[in-house]
């Protein structure tokens, strides 16, 4: 690979801008899929299983796409960019169709497609940073992705509430299948954001061509059976997995188990704690859905506001220290959510949904979870990037992301068949469990072994 030169801030911005659209799509899923399922007739206990699409598709797609992208090169399209384009196109189609779902099967099937498409685009994007940036700028690249994660999900979460509060749509407007009209328009905007942002990155960023030795290896691999080659690459990567990566596995388990609990049950938890109901046919549940988007948007505002501040902080106390503090703050924030009510607060605000909603605890939760989310989207990848061989970046990033989706699959199965009943069939208790798990993940971070104190490099 050619020698990596320093890129300008705006070059790094452009190359990562496609991450905005990918995360816009994820944001729409996080804030709306549980509500969509409930509008189509799902009950609380069945929600985890209906979210199974994400973990399973990620488990299958990410390491395979990572391995294939390592062995891909097109003089016209590059190594990673073809995967961005294919993923963004399929994602946009699924987003356009989702609000028209008239059965749970249709919605769940489209979520499978949407998650597969997002994984096809996102996993090579992680490797893209390691491909393009030198060691001095790599931390800036990953934190730029963290910034766009926060920014994209923020806009995705606020879009329905903005459409209602500005009077473009009424909160009572619904489509024939019972899904609110504001959900359709939010998904339509998401489809446009997904494909347009990726196109900007693809058109403004060139990839480094492989060296003659790398190109010869790629050509040699093309002569072999692609399935056998991919399987061999994944197997070899597992066999030679570095210690840092192994130690990150339990951290990621508790982190992502917690986040899936949060995304599945936050709307029901808010509806129950604020309005005393989880009836999806009630106006209160619709308000809780919009409030979920606003709250998710708030923590993602915190995410992209603090993303770049994590670099100098990590230089002072180390990436492990930053991640420990961030996850602990996120856990405290989640533990605070079930305390929300309409009477026991010091300060309330009037919102466009027509109710006085407490914001004291909401801001505490948003602040903590926003910092936690910013760190989760950057620090583990920075720790990993310093411990894996450059020529295997794609497959290792894919395997690393498997340890995001495996906890999600475990969460779904355990929540469906055991944990939800154990927690008294109360969505607020699920959110409390999520907060506890984030704190556990933070403590486990302190036991990670790294090559140097910070495992992070000052950006220039």
CATH label of the domain that carries residue 141: 1.20.1250.20
Segment holding 350, helix H or strand E: strand 348-350
Domain boundary, last residue among 165, 200, 224: 224
**pLDDT score, position 27:** 83
Domain hosting residue 359, numbered range: 230-459
Same domain as 297, residue 150: no
Same domain as 88, residue 32: yes
Same domain as 355, residue 278: yes
Neighbours of 443 (CB within 10 A): 14
Residues 43, 49, 50, 54, CA torsion sign: positive
Residues with Cβ within 8 Å of 432's Cβ and at least 6 positions away in sequence, in order, are 334, 335, 338
Neighbours of 451 (CB within 10 A): 12
Whether residue 48 contacts residue 416, with contact meaning beta carbons closer than 8 Å, is answered with yes
Same domain as 239, residue 153: no
How many angstroms separate the CA atoms of 360 and 224, rounded?
A: 60
Domain boundary, last residue among 166, 201, 224: 224
Whether residue 153 contacts residue 26, with contact meaning beta carbons closer than 8 Å, is answered with yes
Same domain as 218, residue 346: no
**pLDDT score, position 425:** 84
Q: Which pair of tokens denotes residue 361?
A: 């605890």
Q: Which pair of tokens denotes residue 20?
A: 């905005």
**pLDDT score, position 459:** 32
Same domain as 243, residue 134: no
Segment holding 117, helix H or strand E: helix 104-132
Q: Which pair of tokens denotes residue 82?
A: 């073809």
Give the residue among 287, 307, 283, 305 at the shortest CA–CA distance from 295. Answer: 287
How many angstroms separate the CA atoms of 187 and 372, rounded?
A: 26
Tens-of-pLDDT digits for all 460 residues of the chain?
456 677 788 888 888 888 888 889 888 887 788 888 888 888 767 777 777 766 677 667 766 776 677 667 766 777 777 887 888 899 899 999 998 998 888 988 888 888 888 878 777 777 777 777 776 777 677 778 778 877 888 788 788 878 888 878 777 788 888 888 888 899 999 999 989 998 888 888 887 776 666 676 666 666 666 666 767 777 777 788 888 888 999 999 999 999 989 988 888 888 887 777 777 777 777 777 777 777 777 787 887 788 778 777 877 787 788 899 999 999 988 888 777 665 433 333 344 444 555 545 566 667 888 899 888 877 887 777 667 766 666 677 777 777 887 888 888 888 878 888 888 888 889 999 999 999 999 999 998 887 654 444 333 3
How many domains in the chain? 2
Same domain as 236, residue 213: no
Same domain as 443, residue 309: yes
**pLDDT score, position 109:** 87
**pLDDT score, position 67:** 66
Domain boundary, last residue among 187, 202, 224: 224
Same domain as 161, residue 45: yes
Same domain as 419, residue 397: yes
Same domain as 345, residue 205: no
How big, in percent rounded to 5, are the helix, strand and coil portions of the chain?
75, 0, 20
How many angstroms separate the CA atoms of 112 and 53, rounded?
A: 5
Same domain as 455, residue 360: yes
Residues with Cβ within 8 Å of 142's Cβ and at least 6 positions away in sequence, in order, are 129, 377, 378, 381, 382, 385
């Amino acid at each position: 690979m050619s020698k990596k030169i320093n890129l300008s801030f705006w070059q790094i911005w452009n190359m990562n801008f496609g991450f905005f659209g990918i995360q816009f799509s994820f944001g729409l899923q996080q804030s709306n899929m549980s509500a969509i399922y409930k509008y189509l007739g799902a009950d609380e206990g069945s929600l985890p299983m209906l979210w199974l699409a994400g973990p399973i598709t990620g488990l299958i797609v990410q390491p395979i796409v990572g391995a294939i992208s390592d062995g891909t090169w097109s003089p016209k399209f590059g190594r990673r960019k073809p995967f961005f384009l294919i993923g963004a196109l399929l994602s946009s189609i699924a987003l356009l169709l989702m609000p028209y779902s008239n059965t749970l099967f249709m919605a769940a099937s489209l979520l499978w497609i949407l998650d597969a498409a997002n994984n096809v685009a996102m996993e090579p994007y992680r490797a893209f940073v390691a491909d393009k940036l030198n060691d001095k700028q790599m931390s800036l690249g990953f934190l730029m992705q963290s910034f766009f994660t926060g920014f994209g999900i923020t806009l995705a979460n606020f879009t329905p509430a903005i459409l209602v509060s500005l009077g473009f749509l009424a909160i009572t407007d619904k489509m024939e299948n019972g899904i609110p009209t504001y959900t359709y328009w939010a998904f339509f905007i998401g489809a446009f954001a997904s494909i347009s942002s990726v196109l900007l990155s693809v058109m403004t960023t060139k990839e480094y061509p492989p060296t003659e030795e790398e190109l010869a290896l790629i050509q040699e691999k093309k002569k072999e059976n692609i399935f056998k080659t991919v399987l061999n690459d994944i197997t070899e990567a597992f066999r030679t997995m570095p210690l840092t990566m192994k130690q990150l596995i339990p951290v990621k388990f508790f982190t992502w188990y917690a986040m899936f609990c949060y995304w599945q049950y936050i709307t029901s938890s808010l509806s129950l704690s604020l309005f005393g109901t989880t009836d999806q046919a009630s106006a209160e549940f619709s308000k809780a859905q919009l409030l979920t988007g606003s709250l998710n948007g708030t923590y993602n505002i915190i995410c992209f506001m603090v993303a770049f501040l994590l670099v100098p902080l990590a230089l002072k106390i180390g990436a492990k220290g930053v991640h420990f503090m961030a996850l602990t703050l996120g856990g405290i924030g989640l533990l605070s959510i079930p305390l929300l009510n309409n009477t026991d607060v010091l300060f309330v605000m009037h919102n466009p949904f027509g109710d006085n909603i407490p914001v004291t605890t909401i801001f505490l939760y948003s602040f903590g979870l926003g910092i936690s989310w910013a760190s989760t989207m950057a620090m583990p990848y920075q720790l990993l990037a310093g411990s894996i061989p450059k020529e295997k970046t794609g497959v290792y990033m894919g395997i690393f992301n498997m340890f995001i989706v495996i906890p999600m699959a475990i969460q779904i199965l355990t929540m469906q068949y055991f944990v939800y009943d154990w927690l008294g069939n109360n969505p607020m208790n699920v959110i409390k469990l999520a907060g506890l798990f984030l704190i556990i993940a933070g403590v486990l971070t302190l036991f990670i072994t790294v090559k140097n104190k910070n495992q992070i490099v000052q950006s220039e």
